[in-house]
Amino acid sequence: MASTILFIRAWFRWRRANTWIIVDGSNVMHWKDGTPDLETLKKVLETLKRAGFKPGVMFDANVGYKVEGHYMDDRKLSRALGLRSKQVMVAPKGTPADPLILRAARESKARIVTNDRFRDWVDEFPDVLKADRLVKGGFRKDELWFSL
């Protein structure tokens, strides 16, 4: 947990100089066909970058098993996504990414790209879960859309 806190603090220092947006990688990678795919996530990230955002992606610990059949850490995922390693975070085993995403969004005042409603976290993060903070999206006829 201490390394997570240090990571989030470093992430915020980097974020201050950028237009930061947090991407719920474990959610977004399912947007196209309902199956986990890093190519789907890469398309979302490229679109966000072209729109002037600096995306940071946070994942549940099992992401590597879903996309590659083995554990993948921050560095491996950042390379696969074409991002700097400080832009990617894999939650520690046994820790859900949701509260980490919500805490990071609260502390950085960033928006979150996700279709998750975070129902289990409403009481703890009511400020973050306002409609204007959550960016919904998906694919319609192979075209990406966002509620930006």
- pLDDT tens track for 35-86: 999 999 999 999 999 988 999 999 999 999 999 999 999 999 999 999 999 9
Residue 104 phi, psi (nearest 5): -65, -40
SS3 99: helix
Nearest CA among 54, 51, 39, 53 for reference residue 84: 54
pLDDT value at 146 more than 50: yes
Tokens of 106: 């609260």
User: Residue 89 pairs with which residues in a beta bridge?
Assistant: 58
Span 86-141, pLDDT tens digits = 999 999 999 999 999 999 999 988 999 999 999 999 999 988 888 789 999 999 98
CA distances from 7 to 64, 85, 105 (A): 20, 11, 14
CA pair distance 71, 37, nearest whole angstrom: 15
Check residue 129 and give its pLDDT: 83
- Write down the architecture of domain 2-146 according to CATH: 3-Layer(aba) Sandwich (3.40)
Q: What is the DSSP string of 15-77?
A: HTTS-EEEEEHHHHTTTTTSS--HHHHHHHHHHHHHTT-EEEEEE-TTHHHHHTSS---HHHH
H or E element that contains 2: helix 2-15
Residues pairing with 23 in the sheet = 57, 113
What region, left, alpha or beta, does residue 69 occupy, with left being phi > 0 and alpha being psi -120 to 50 degrees?
A: left
